[in-house]
Structure 1
């Protein structure tokens, strides 16, 4: 499945338009649960151990491995991708394309010295969550995988959000239809 993903966009204006094209009316734990499970099922089908993390700026909404095989280091990479998305308001793939994958240029451009640049990454797989009427990015969708290329990580997140967008029409949450006595 990961090898059949179309190559991601590379133009910064096209990537920015793609990111803003997924602006949510609102974003809750229910959205994160559905998107997280779409990602988990896709990665399981592809037999790809990966860590999936969906959060608001300061609250984790979904965090799960797709399969056994993730490593403790994946937690650090998850944090780095989330930090990049939240700080610059773009996907980590956008940032990679902006600097042609060159970490040194990225760090120099943003005047990051010492160990600060170790808090960020330009590896694909971190994606912004935008909400209508809210200025800036409100959260991040992150995939860190064993053997998942930067382009594939971006592509699988884009595909999952597209699938979610297709599913959300007419979606009724079981929690919203439940009556409490």
Structure 2
């Protein structure tokens, strides 16, 4: 079954991912294993138009990767879905994870927040995707090794998603998918988190 397109309204996205429907009762290594395998199964079942090799990574929110010289992320689950992923997928995972940990929301919701704040520009303006990246880098004074509009340590592309647990303040873990179109990376994680949370209620 194909993935539904996610909302592009940041308020809707944030309300969704902080709702009880998307908040776990508990989250342990066993939960991470179950979530990771459910994601892999779902990704492999996508129709040809959406299915691509992808990397799934679930880590505890105890570190922010290599950003700021901190210790590496504590990975609970990581798997490629099939042949075809490349080392760059790992870089995208790291950058999406850092975004979720720093701003406390999904990387897709963060992208939509930035996009929502842009003013309508003339047809001669750079492509919207470039404007979003540039606005993100400028707003938060983020580092870019090339001096361009891409932050070295963060990515506001869909696929990074916060794991929340009832009664626990903040984010407990981060789940990331990298390899599909960014809206599909987000949609598959959100859908699978919702389904697993519902299963915990039974």
Short-chain TM bin? 0.7 to 0.9
Taking only aligned residues, the RMSD between alpha carbons, in angstroms, comes to 1.6
Partner of 2:134: 104
> CA separation of 1:13/1:44 partners in 2, compared to 1, >3 Å: closer, same or farther?
same
* Paired positions, count: 166
Structure 2 unmatched ranges of 5 or more: 63-73, 116-128
What is the distance in 1 between the residues matched to 2:26 and 2:198?
Answer: 16
What is the deviation of 1:138?
A: 2.0
C-alpha displacement of 1:71? 0.4
- Residues in 2 aligned to 1:24 and 1:65: alpha-carbon distance in whole angstroms: 24
Give the Cα separation in 1 of the matches to 2:186 and 2:110: 12
- Structure 2 residue 25 is the aligned partner of structure 1 residue 17: no
Contact persistence 2:53–2:84 (CA under 8 A): yes
Establish whether residue 164 from structure 1 lines up as the match of residue 196 from structure 2: yes
2-structure distance, mates of 1:71, 1:114: 22
Mean Cα deviation higher: 70-79 or 161-170: 161-170
Q: Which residue of 2 aligns with 1:7?
A: 5
Partner SS, residue 69 of structure 1: coil
Task: State whether structure 2 residue 176 is matched by structure 1 residue 142.
Answer: yes
- The range that moved more, 95-104 or 74-83, is 95-104
**Is the Cα contact below 8 Å between 2:25 and 2:200 reproduced in 1?**
no
* 1:126 counterpart residue number: 160
Deviation of 1:72 (Å): 0.8
Q: Please give the secondary structure, in 2, of the residue aligned with 1:128.
A: strand
TM-fit CA distance, 1:166: 2.7
TM-score by length of 2: 0.77
Can you list the C-alpha shifts for 1:129-158, whole angstroms capped at 9, x where unaligned?
11222222221110001xx11111111111
Displacement of 1:43 in angstroms is 1.2
* Post-superposition offset of 1:61: 0.8
